[in-house]
Amino acid sequence: MIVSGTGVTFGTNHSYKAWGLKLKEIKIGLPEVKTSYVEVPGMNGSLDLTEATFGGVTYGMRTLEFSFDARNCSYTDWASLVTAIATAVHGQKLQITLDTDPDYQYTGRCELNTEKTNEVLAQIVISCNCNPYKTKADGTGGVL
């Protein structure tokens, strides 16, 4: 019997297969729309130049946040687990692929946060500051 769990791949490391992390929560923010408004004397409202410069709407970065539980994780195990995850993702710019959306990937810089409150459980949070578009797994085509 193959044991598997839904997870996220950061670069070449799958959160469940590599580290045994149980995915608890996913937050995928939408990128901020870069707008440009000009106040024109005598005009009601403002002149919207958002699409004037580049011929379309442009976007800022987006934030992805993944919360995981590390189960049956003693304090000793936790220290080595954090080291392994931090070495692989903390501060790294990586391709990020969700098992629930395998045809697309995000690209972003990742940060690790963790909390250990008892002998059994640990919480691992990986936050990523990503490009506004997700791309197809082959690197083509961007969509929000």
Residue 1 and residue 28 in contact, taking contact as beta carbons nearer than 8 Å: no
For residue 96, the one-letter residue type is I
- Identify whether the C-beta of residue 11 lies closer than 8 Å to the C-beta of residue 19: no
In a structure prediction context, what are the per-residue pLDDT tens digits for the chain, which is 144 residues long?
344 689 999 999 999 999 999 999 999 999 999 998 999 999 999 999 988 877 889 999 999 999 999 988 888 899 999 999 999 999 999 999 999 999 999 999 999 999 998 888 899 999 999 999 999 988 788 888
Helices (H) and strands (E) in the chain, counts: 2, 13
